[in-house]
Amino acid sequence: MPELPEVESTARSLRPRLVGRRVRSVGGVDWPRMLPNTAEDELRAVLTGLAVSTVDRRGKYLLIGLEHDRWLAIHRKMSGNLLLRPAETAAEPHTHLEIGLDDGWLLRFVDARKFGRVYLFGSRGELDAFIAARLGPEPLTDLSAASLTTLLRGRHGRIKSLLLDQAFLAGVGNVYADEALWEARVHPLRAADSLSSREIARLALAIQHVLMLGIERRGTSFSTYRDADDSRGENQDHLSVYGREGQPCPRCGTRIRRIAIGMRAAHFCPHCQRASVRRPATSGTASRSGTARPGLA
């Protein structure tokens, strides 16, 4: 699934090509369920003739603002791509929406698995309400050691599962959660309330770092992800743990492991990312059993 870096890369590639262009046509919808709050006829009636004023991103949603305060929010889900094509180019398989522009180009939404969704909003206020009900803070702008400490307060679930919760933190998915946890030396099964202040600070920095690297490398292309010009990203060539089961950890050489957490896979180094952390022994308080206790380092 495209995560924050992939959506941000697409927004950056689309922005100079779309802003200022007028919508000349809307069509090609062959999967009405991709439009949860609108329909092809309404999209055509509302968008035709309007100029694009902005291309932005919030979490995993690509946001396209148009004149008269009209907005599209596009969630690509598992396999969706937004591609720019000359008007004479034959449609790719699984093209479910085409927006024609006044420069002769088409913006196409291509989605083999049909999980992607396109929403229409009549004002920025409507869009903001929709986003606020679904997404937590933006990790690139609103995340710090202090804010992550606040977010984790009272949370008892596994840290990997929590990072995947978009209402907790927007934009982080499986790839970048694994990479950030490895960089921060935090095991994916650790309870969220077991992390020390030092671990929380490392994790906040690691989340931002792996996301920024992903953006610099134009995203991670394992299967279907492409940017607006149909180009692959490069981040898949630089991953430390994700998709590297059985390969040596870049930091210590231990073989990377893969486990299932719920319905998702997690990749980690069993040496660098310990499932439990031993509390330093103090006089008269050493553990009788010697068993490590989680999260007390």
H-assigned helices in the chain: 4-18, 40-47, 124-132, 139-142, 145-152, 159-163, 174-184, 197-216
The whole-angstrom separation of Cα 296 and Cα 216 is 35
The answer to whether 61 touches 69, Cβ cutoff 8 Å, is no
| Closest among 256, 243, 137 to 187, alpha carbons compared | 256
Sign of the alpha-carbon dihedral angle for 150, 239, 223, 120: positive
Question: What is the number of alpha carbons within 13 Å of residue 162 lying toward its C-beta?
Answer: 22
Note the pLDDT of residue 261. Answer: 93
Superfamily of domain 4-132: MutM-like, N-terminal (3.20.190.10)
The whole-angstrom separation of Cα 271 and Cα 185 is 9
In a 10 Å sphere around its CB, with 0-12 CB exposed, 13-18 middle and 19+ buried, how is residue 291 labelled? exposed
Sign of the alpha-carbon dihedral angle for 134, 34, 79, 100: negative
Does the global pTM surpass 0.85?
Answer: yes
Catalytic residue list: 2-3, 60, 264
- Helices and strands of the chain, counted as H and E runs: 8, 10
- Among the four given CATH numbers 1.10.8.50, 1.10.620.20, 3.40.50.300, 1.10.10.10, the one describing domain 139-268: 1.10.8.50
Boundaries of every domain in the chain: 4-132, 139-268
Question: What is the number of alpha carbons within 13 Å of residue 130 lying toward its C-beta?
Answer: 21
The answer to whether 101 touches 246, Cβ cutoff 8 Å, is no
What's the CA dihedral at 23, 26, 28, 32 to 10 degrees?
A: 130
Give pLDDT tens digits along the chain (297 positions). Answer: 789 999 999 999 999 999 999 999 999 999 999 999 999 999 999 999 999 999 999 999 999 999 999 999 999 998 899 999 999 999 999 999 999 999 999 999 999 999 999 999 999 999 999 999 999 999 999 999 999 999 999 999 999 999 999 999 999 999 999 999 999 999 999 999 999 999 999 999 999 999 999 999 998 886 677 777 777 888 899 999 999 999 999 999 999 999 999 889 999 999 999 987 655 444 444 333 333 333 322
